Amino acid sequence: MKYLITVWTLFYSIVLLATDYHIDTVRMTSTVLNETRIILIFTPDGLQNNDSVSILYFLDGEFAKTRYDAIMKEQSVIPPVGIGIINVNRNRDMLPVKEPDKFLNFIETELIPKFEANYQITRRILFGHSFAGGFAIYSLINKPGLFDQYIASSPTPIMEMTDSCFTGNWITGWIKRPGSISVMVQRI
C-alpha cells in the first residue's frame, strides 16, 4: 500500500507540473512610459516562428498564468501565444482619469511590434479584469482597430465612455456570473 501511494503521488505531481507551453520573462525598456516593464510570454510547445497564431495580451500580467492555464484546458485547436504585462502603476495605467493614453500608446507602438514580429497573427485579443477590464473598454473606444477582440471581465464602471461604444462591425456578448459581469466584443 505504501508503494502504491508513493507511485500515485509521484504520478499526480508530474501531471500537475506538466504544461503544454513554456514561459519566458523579458525586461523591456519603454521610451513611451520612461520605465522598464516585465513581460511574460506564454508560448505553446511546438509553435514555429512562421506559424499563424492568435495572440492574447493579458493586462495585469501578474495573474496571466492562471488565466492562460484556464485557456489551455479549453483549447481544441492551436492555442494562442499569451503576453502578460506586469503592472508598475496599475491606477495610472488603467484608469481613464489618469494616464491610460500613454499606456495604450506603449502597447501599440512598442509592445505589439516587438512581440508580433516573429509570428503571422490571425487574431489580436486584449483581456482585462476590473480596472484592466475598464481599460480594455477604454482601448476599444479610443483605438477600435488595434485589437480584433476585447474581453473585459468585471470592468470598472466607465459610464461617461459608453455612449460612443459598439458601433460599426462589432458583435457584443455579455456574460453574467454571480457577483460579476464580463463583456466580450469582437470585430466581425
Q: How many domains is the chain partitioned into structurally?
A: 1
Residue 15 lies in a domain: no
HSE of 50 in the Cβ direction (CA atoms, 13 Å)? Answer: 0
| CA-closest candidate to residue 42, choices 60, 20, 13 | 20
| Amino acid 128: pLDDT | 92
Which domain CATH number covers 40?
Answer: 3.40.50.1820
State pLDDT tens for residues 94-123: 887 788 999 999 999 999 999 998 888 999
**Ranges of residues in the chain whose predicted pLDDT is under 50:** 1-18, 159-167, 169-171, 174-181, 188
> Would you state the cell numbers that stand for residue 114, as one nine-digit string?
516587438
Radius of gyration of the chain measured on its C-alpha atoms: 18
| Amino acid 97: pLDDT | 78
Residue 5 lies in a domain: no
> Would you state the cell numbers that stand for residue 57, as one nine-digit string?
495580451
Residue 50 lies in a domain: yes
Question: What is the span of the domain harbouring residue 58?
Answer: 22-187
| Residue 60 DSSP SS3 | coil
Residue 156 lies in a domain: yes
Residue 72 lies in a domain: yes
